[in-house]
Structure 1
């Protein structure tokens, strides 16, 4: 019998840049072996177009994604909750793994800065995949 899939929730303020790029990387690297959720403490109107461009450069399409509000049920359902600059907006439940990734907010930044954020996120997601998925 297969072990249940881990669920990872990425949370940033607007759910328009960092958390969307992280979710895109995790879906790309782990495929359907991990359930991926994302949300924002104050969701934006749309995905950051520079983040879309930076991810497109590495073959990952996040253009059709839509920022959504952080849902308490998403936190409850997740095994790993990764926050990115949203402070204490995320509810805490016992037994969950929480990490706070300090990342530059790509909002209003140029492509070079957003590429650096994208690559930092990729390295962190790769490390996460190595930890939560069996070899």
Structure 2
């Protein structure tokens, strides 16, 4: 593991994706990271105001590329989740995301898939894939 890569107790870097509802962007990002890192990164996602369920159009868009996020459930953002993560990636959650020293933070400006059709969500999915692939390359050189 390179010197700049964070490490958790398991020896793996950990990433937390945060958006407001934890129903679209953060769930797609978690799906991509789980898929692309192949078990070499701990993956978490949460929302500042979680929805009742994952956005069905996000589920459909991910299924099109062979990634199943049907079992995912929106979760509330907790301080413990942030403290347990090396990298915290926010996606439009504003001031609801707590900041801790020593963590790496990135804010990804992405369109919200809520209320969007499948074509728009596919474009968001691909942008998330590109960003997650760069993250994987950074964390797991």
SS in 2 for 1:98: strand
Superposition TM-score, scaled by structure 1 size: 0.96
Partner of 2:110: 103
Partner of 1:73: 80
Partner of 1:114: 121
CA RMSD of aligned residues (A): 1.2
Alpha-carbon separation, structure 2, partners of 1:73 and 1:32: 21
Higher helix share: 1
- String of CA shifts for 1:59-112, please: whole Å, max 9, x gaps: 000011110100110100111000000001111110100000000000000000
Superposition TM-score, scaled by structure 2 size: 0.92
1:32 to partner: Cα distance: 1.1
1:32 aligns with 2:42: no
Give the unaligned 5+ runs of structure 1: none
Runs of at least 4 residues of structure 1 off by over 2 A? none
User: What is the aligned length?
Assistant: 133
